[in-house]
Amino acid sequence: MRALIVEDELLLNEELEEQLLDEQFTVDTAFNFMDARELLSGEIYDIVLLDLTLPDGDGLDLLKMIKKSGHHEMDTAVIILTARGAIEDRVEGLELGSDDYLSKPFAMPELRARIHAVLRRKFKISDNEITIGKLTVNLDHLQVSFNHRPVDVTDTEYKMLRYLFLNKNRTITRIALAEHIWGNKIDDRFSLDFINSHMKNIRKKLAESGAPDLIETVYGVGYKVKAYETQ
Amino acid sequence: MKLNNKILISNVLLSFFMLIVTGFGMYYVVNSTIYDELDFHLMQHKTDIQKQLSEQPESLDEIQRLGGLGSYEWVEISPFPNNTSSIKNTFTTIDTVRYAEVSQLPEAYRKLTTTLTVNNEPFVLEIYEEVAAWEKISMTILLSVLAALFIWVILLYVVNQYVFGRILSPFYSTVDRLEQISSPTQVGEPFPEANTYEIKVLNGALNNMLGQIKSSFEDQKKFIQNASHELLTPLSIIRQKAEKILSDPENLERKDIERVHEIQQTAVRLTRLSNALLLISRVENKQFSLDDDIHISGIVEKALNELHDFIDLKKLKIHFDKREEIGLSGNRELVHSAVYNIIQNAIKFSPDGGNILIFMGRDPSNASVLSVRDEGPGIPDHLIDEVFNRFKKGHKMNDSGNSPGLGLSIVQSVCELHGFRCTASNNEGKGVTFSIHF
């Protein structure tokens, strides 16, 4: 999988590159409009992380270029990363064919989850599942099962589980979880308590269905799903 | 009142004053001139009679006949009453009837009463001179003067209206345009160069100042846009780095974890703050279009749906009293965020298991209203008026890391943009009611 990161901020670009390398992507980086245009005209990428505000041009123009060149059978997925929180920008970006939109600052696990979702859509993978210790979470539908027996969870609980499973073996902060579920409109202190209560419910439901306690609480930080043998 | 009307009124008042003063003055002057003239005439007449009587008449009849000779005036000569001493020339004005057979209406006469000596014997001489004819002349003069003045007043009005309209038209076009301008985005073309000095100065100053406001407004817009980008990108990096540390916490001290966690939380808080400020300034700079058709019930239901997790977890009971649908045009996202903030606020401060009453209908003044009533701790009375103000928190003034009170500021600026009114009041029992009056 080839990825291109278009981001003018050096530190952020590096961070994104590291994350994508972790995910086994082959990564190119561009720090400005001109470089990005050059790379895009020569290479075919599976995914482009695109910052809209570049020192020498508008990222939306790059988006138009990507979508126009349309390497037909293999369309490039684009996730816009921007600090321009304006609604109009978001709408315009999505209208121009971007696959997703993340407002800065975002949590890395969120980006990871979005990349997974975008790529699953791109490669038309449905009914994709992650199973850890016999506990299976469907990535596309509200479906959780343990040992092939369904576990009844609410929408929010499912979202939390899926997020943790997608980011297995990584500690997910409660803030990142709250933002994943409720977006960034919710007051943080307000919502963190709710993450705790939801987590309590999840543990209870998993215990009732006989699943082992896969979710580890990382004191003062958040949660982590440990998967020793990954599928 | 408009400037030209004020000038006009003062001119008309002055003219009326002049009209009245001139009218009365003229009347007085003409009248006194006439009486002087009449008196002079009467005195001459007396001299004439005295001359005529120097022919030594015999009897009183003869005297009366001679005295009246060659005269159209009314002359009466009578013997001098014995009991009176000699009288001087006395002028009086009387109303009397001369020829009862012609007219019963009394007419004004000027009368000279004096003594006449014929053959060394005193007689009383009374000469009457008709005033009416003269009075008619003086009235005619007066009326024509008044008519002239009246025409002048009317003329003044017309000329004022027209000439002032002409002279002041560049001034009024400036004023009209100023009335249209409610924000720096509407400044448009510069005001034209005028040939009247004052208007030239005025337009020049306006062009200068509005130009400065407009350019600083545009700078501000750019600044907001840039500031958000410039702030959010480094915040992004801080968050990324903090999360990186937290995602691998095994080899960290617990204290360090807490510190990093606090760094992360602060970065998130700062993000919310700058996003909220960005939104408010964008709203206040009118950078949103207001032409979506909105139904408030849909907005409320969407917000409730987004918040249902919190409602469920706090076991709150929501009563949505839909009396009357409210439809309006505005910006959907903004109205949604206002409604969302009010409901979220109610949820946040409600005790577990509490009730939230959402009412959609009409307020006592028959305006459409959406109100959200909670059973929370309420707001201290001295703070309730400031609850929508930026950076004031109704409840805790501490550093709990709660939202910096910007939620309600967003509500207020959205309301101002749309011309709504938002109010907060403590309930009689407990809790607060927040209302948006559309």
Nearest CA in chain A to B312: A194
Q: Does B236 lie at the interface with A, CB-CB under 8 angstroms?
A: yes
Give the pLDDT band of residue B69 (cuts 50, 70, 90).
low
Chain region(s) in chain B for CATH 1.10.287: 197-284
Whether residues A157 and A209 share a domain: the answer is yes
Q: Does B278 lie at the interface with A, CB-CB under 8 angstroms?
A: yes
Please determine, for residue B143, whether its predicted confidence score (pLDDT) is greater than 80. yes
Among A48, A173, A103, residue whose Cα is nearest residue B232: A103
- Highest-pLDDT range among B54-68, B178-192, B358-372, B378-392: B358-372
Give the pLDDT band of residue A29 (cuts 50, 70, 90).
very high
Residues of chain B contacting residue A17, judged by C-beta atoms under 8 Å apart: none
Chain region(s) in chain B for CATH 3.30.565.10: 292-437
> Min CA distance, B168 vs chain A (Å)?
45
Whether residues A47 and A65 share a domain: the answer is yes
Token pair listed for B151: 């025409």
Q: Does B271 lie at the interface with A, CB-CB under 8 angstroms?
A: yes
Q: Which of A122, A142, A173 is the last residue of a domain?
A: A122
Q: What is the mean pLDDT of residues B36-51?
A: 84
Q: Does B315 lie at the interface with A, CB-CB under 8 angstroms?
A: no
Tell me how many degrees the CA angle B25-B27-B31 measures, rounded to the nearest 5: 120
Tell me how many degrees the CA angle B259-A218-B244 measures, rounded to the nearest 5: 60
Which value, in Å, is the radius of gyration of the alpha carbons in chain B?
A: 48
Among A149, A159, A168, residue whose Cα is nearest residue A206: A149
Please determine, for residue A4, whether its predicted confidence score (pLDDT) is greater than 90. yes
pLDDT digits (tens, 9 = 90+) for A74-98: 678 899 888 766 666 667 777 777 8
Instruction: Give, in words, the CATH class of B197-284.
Output: mainly alpha
HEC per residue, chain A = CEEEEECCCHHHHHHHHHHHHHCCCEEEEECCHHHHHHHHHHCCCCEEEEECEECCEEHHHHHHHHHHHCCCCCCCEEEEEECCCCHHHHHHHHHCCCCEEEECCCCHHHHHHHHHHHHHHHCCCCCCEEEECCEEEECCCCCEEECCEEECCCHHHHHHHHHHHHCCCCCEEHHHHHHHHHCCCCCHHHHHHHHHHHHHHHHHHHHHCCCCCCEEEECCCEEEECCCCCC
Whether residues A149 and A208 share a domain: the answer is yes
Helix, strand, coil percent values for chain B (each to nearest 5) = 60, 15, 25
Among B207, B172, B173, B175, residue whose Cα is nearest residue B189: B207
Whether residues A23 and A42 share a domain: the answer is yes
Whether residues A208 and A144 share a domain: the answer is yes
Residues of chain B contacting residue A186, judged by C-beta atoms under 8 Å apart: 344
Bigger pLDDT: B232 vs B33:
B33
Residues of chain A contacting residue B275, judged by C-beta atoms under 8 Å apart: 85, 103, 184
| CATH value at residue A190 | 1.10.10.10
A12:B337 CB<8 A: no
pLDDT digits (tens, 9 = 90+) for A163-211: 888 888 888 888 888 888 887 666 656 677 788 888 888 899 888 888 8
Distance CA B70, CA B43 (A): 16
Q: Which of A81, A107, A122 is the last residue of a domain?
A: A122
H/E stretch holding B142: helix B132-159
Whether residues A77 and A162 share a domain: the answer is no
Of 3.40.50.1860, 1.10.3720.10, 3.30.565.10, 3.40.309.10, the CATH number of B292-437 is: 3.30.565.10
Cβ atoms of A141 and A150 within 8 Å: the answer is no
Q: Rounded to 5 degrees, what are φ and ψ at B93? A: -115, 125
Q: Which of A68, A92, A122 is the last residue of a domain?
A: A122
Q: What is the mean pLDDT of residues B307-329?
A: 86
Q: Is B187 left (phi over 0), alpha (psi -120 to 50) or beta?
A: alpha
Residue A9 lies in a domain: yes
Residue A230 lies in a domain: no
Distance CA B53, CA B58 (A): 10
Residue A164 CA: distances (Å) to CA of A76, A175, A215, A230: 27, 13, 9, 14
Residue A98 lies in a domain: yes
Whether residues A73 and A149 share a domain: the answer is no
Whether residues A20 and A116 share a domain: the answer is yes
Among B273, B337, B266, residue whose Cα is nearest residue B299: B337
Please determine, for residue B390, whether its predicted confidence score (pLDDT) is greater than 70. no
Residue A231 lies in a domain: no
What is the rounded (10 degree) CA torsion for B27, B28, B29, B32? 120
- Per-residue pLDDT, B280: 79
Q: Does B257 lie at the interface with A, CB-CB under 8 angstroms?
A: yes
Q: Number of folded domains in chain A? A: 2
CATH code of the region B3-143: 3.30.450
Residue A35 lies in a domain: yes
Helix (H, G, I), strand (E, B) or coil at B6: helix
Tell me how many degrees the CA angle B296-B300-B301 measures, rounded to the nearest 5: 115
Please determine, for residue A72, whether its predicted confidence score (pLDDT) is greater than 60. no
Task: Tell me which residue has tokens 């080839």.
Answer: A2
Whether residues A59 and A145 share a domain: the answer is no
B241:A222 CB<8 A: no
A83:B236 CB<8 A: yes
Helix (H, G, I), strand (E, B) or coil at B334: helix
**Residue A145 CA to chain centroid, in angstroms?**
23
Please give the residue range of the domain that contains residue A65.
2-122
Q: What are the helix (H) ranges across B247-307?
A: 254-284, 296-306
Whether residues A7 and A31 share a domain: the answer is yes
Whether residues A85 and A142 share a domain: the answer is no
Among A125, A85, A130, residue whose Cα is nearest residue A105: A85
> Min CA distance, B425 vs chain A (Å)?
23
Cβ atoms of A215 and A172 within 8 Å: the answer is no
Please determine, for residue B402, whether its predicted confidence score (pLDDT) is greater than 80. no
Tell me how many degrees the CA angle B305-B346-B317 measures, rounded to the nearest 5: 60
Whether residues A94 and A147 share a domain: the answer is no
Asked casually if ipTM beats, i.e. exceeds, 0.85, the reply is: no
Residues of chain A contacting residue B344, judged by C-beta atoms under 8 Å apart: 185-187
| CATH value at residue A22 | 3.40.50.2300
